[in-house]
Amino acid sequence: MRCSTVTIRCLIVGLGLAMLGCTTPPISHEQLKNLALLTPQDLYGNGAAVTEIDGKSKGVAQQMTIEGPDILPGVKTRPGVNVLPGRRMIQVYVCYAGGAQNCISDTYIFDAKPGLAYVLRGSEQNIVVLDRFQKLVQGSLHPIAHHEFVSDQELETVRRQELTAAADAGIAVMEQRKRDQIFIRKVGALVCQEPGRDIIYVGYVENLAGDKIQIRIADAHFKRNPNLHPSGFSPSTVWDSSIQWGLCR
């Protein structure tokens, strides 16, 4: 039986049993060894289904399987789809209330491997990976940027890269401040400081003493929106090492 995208949407909102009419004949055990099973968690108890594979809805119905429900103890899952191994982009519709207008979509991008089952639990939750036959948990895939999910080893690599990039950025800032000292250490200079990742403090140099500068902090704003200011801020005057401040750019 050929199923349209409209039919798939209907499955999501409560006609899950109708999906059995959309599935292909049973696949042999030997064939399943070469496929990955992707099954969505029914997060709100109102239905969930894979609706697109690699950006295409056509053919999803033919890849549906009755496998998937209750594959993970304590987690309500729905029937899934079989896919070939490789990098896949999967769209899942999950309904938080009755009616198609109350469904949202989540996207997952990850490397699927043969003989494994992947429980898709929401865009910000780990994907649980199991042996599809023995139903034993093999590990997790972790969400990072742009809908991507990676293994423990890949996540560690990403974190190391982020730490390295942050350290390199910090060194670059300090080097630039050293080059700018001749301009920073001038009365009237407009200087900025970003002690965290979100807020920038803006002030004017009023005095000098040794390696210190007296700064009148006149403003504070959020980095991503200079028109927004943190609550509780009030202008103040401080003495600080000139290397802790940079020219406002």
User: What pLDDT is attached to residue 213?
Assistant: 97
Residues of the chain with pLDDT below 70 are: 1-25, 99-100
User: What pLDDT is attached to residue 195?
Assistant: 85
User: What pLDDT is attached to residue 2?
Assistant: 39
Burial 37-74 (b: 16+ CB within 10 A, else e): bbbbbbbeebbbbbbbbeeebeebbebbbebbeebbee
Which residues, at least 6 apart from 88, have a Cβ–Cβ distance to it below 8 Å? 36, 38, 53, 54, 108, 109, 110, 111, 112
Question: How far is the C-alpha of 50 from the C-alpha of 148, rounded, in Å?
Answer: 17
User: What pLDDT is attached to residue 63?
Assistant: 86
User: What pLDDT is attached to residue 64?
Assistant: 87
User: What pLDDT is attached to residue 243?
Assistant: 95
Which residues, at least 6 apart from 210, have a Cβ–Cβ distance to it below 8 Å? none
User: What pLDDT is attached to residue 23?
Assistant: 47
Which residues, at least 6 apart from 180, have a Cβ–Cβ distance to it below 8 Å? 246, 247
User: What pLDDT is attached to residue 24?
Assistant: 54
User: What pLDDT is attached to residue 13?
Assistant: 39
CATH of 168-247, one of 1.10.357, 3.30.70, 2.60.40, 2.30.30: 2.30.30
Domain coordinates in residue numbering, the chain: 5-153, 168-247
Question: How far is the C-alpha of 159 from the C-alpha of 145, rounded, in Å?
Answer: 12
